[in-house]
Amino acid sequence: MEYFLVINGKPEGPFSIQQLKGMSVKPSDFLKTADMVDYKEAHELAELREFFHFDKRSVVPQYFAGFDQRWMASALDWLFVGGGFIVLAFVAAYTIEDKSVRLIVALAILALIPLTKIVYHIVMECSPKQATYGKQMLKIKVCDLQGKRISAGRSISRNVFKIFSLITIIGYLLSFFNKKQQCLHDMMAETLVMKDRLI
């Protein structure tokens, strides 16, 4: 693995990791490999942290997910969660002969979708990935105001507060009017939806 290193504001290299060792690389120095689109600080790269024994620092988010990315991630999550239940409802409808029982079972299965989606968001957004599968596909994630992983309690609060954003509608539109593109539930839970600087 070879790295380009920013020296005095200009990229130089590539350098091997052994060459970097003799160059007194600091945790805040910017580096990238040929495969990376943008530079990252040395402490953000796991292999350099291990080699140089850097501590991983908190990186205050600078890039935030827009409404379009968040909407697309939500649509994908509805597809992932709802798809399984819809298939299950069709199987139940196909196998149950009694029409009234079939309808009740199918509706009961479909009614579980919103509850399951809330639990899915709570669990995934406080996981090490900090994101649902939809968010992961779009390379965005939920974090606190310092860019750190949120706790389970904060994840629960954030998803409960979504009710206020949904009821008011304006709660979601607030993302257009602030630099951090926070919706009402983000403001209430003190969370951000950030995107990686590589996007």
Q: For residues 157 and 72, state if they share a domain.
A: yes
Instruction: Say if residue 171 is in the same domain as residue 74.
Output: yes
Residue 1 has pLDDT above 90, yes or no: no
**Does the residue 26 lie in any domain?**
yes
Q: Read off the pLDDT of residues 143-192 as tens digits, 9 standing for 90 and up.
A: 999 888 999 999 999 999 999 998 888 899 999 999 899 999 999 999 99
The total of structural domains in the chain comes to 2
Q: How confident is the model at residue 18 (pLDDT cuts 50, 70, 90)?
A: confident
In terms of domains, do 7 and 73 share one? no
Q: What is the pLDDT of residue 58?
A: 65
Residue 175's Cβ-count burial label (10 Å; 0-12, 13-18, 19+) is buried
15 & 40 share domain: yes
Together in a domain, 142 and 74: yes
Q: What is the pTM of this model?
A: 0.69
Taking 90 as the threshold, does the pLDDT of residue 110 lie above it?
no
Report the residue count for the chain.
Answer: 199
Note whether residue 163 is domain-resident.
yes
Residue 197: pLDDT band by 50, 70, 90 thresholds?
low
Note whether 35 and 74 are same-domain residues. Answer: no
DSSP per residue, 63-131: -B--HHHHHHHHHHHHHHHHHHHHHHHHHHHHH---HHHHHHHHHHHHHHHHHHHHHHHHHHHTSTT-S
In this prediction, residue 199 has a pLDDT band, given cuts at 50, 70 and 90, of very low
d(C-alpha 183, C-alpha 170), whole Å: 9
| 75/25 same-domain check | no
Residues 73 and 159 in one domain: yes
pLDDT-based confidence at residue 120 (cuts at 50, 70, 90): very high
Burial class (CB in 10 A: 0-12, 13-18, 19+), 46: exposed
* 86 within some domain: no
User: What tens digit of pLDDT does each residue of 41-97 get?
Assistant: 888 888 888 888 888 766 677 789 999 999 999 999 999 998 888 888 888 777 888
In a domain, 32, yes or no: yes
In a domain, 184, yes or no: yes
Residues 163 and 71 in one domain: yes
Write down the pLDDT at residue 39: 87
- Strands in 17-63 per DSSP E: 30-32, 40-41
Please check the confidence at residue 103 and state whether its pLDDT lies above 60: yes
Q: Is residue 92 part of a domain?
A: no
Does residue 107 belong to any structural domain of this protein? Answer: no
Domain containing 38: what range? 2-52
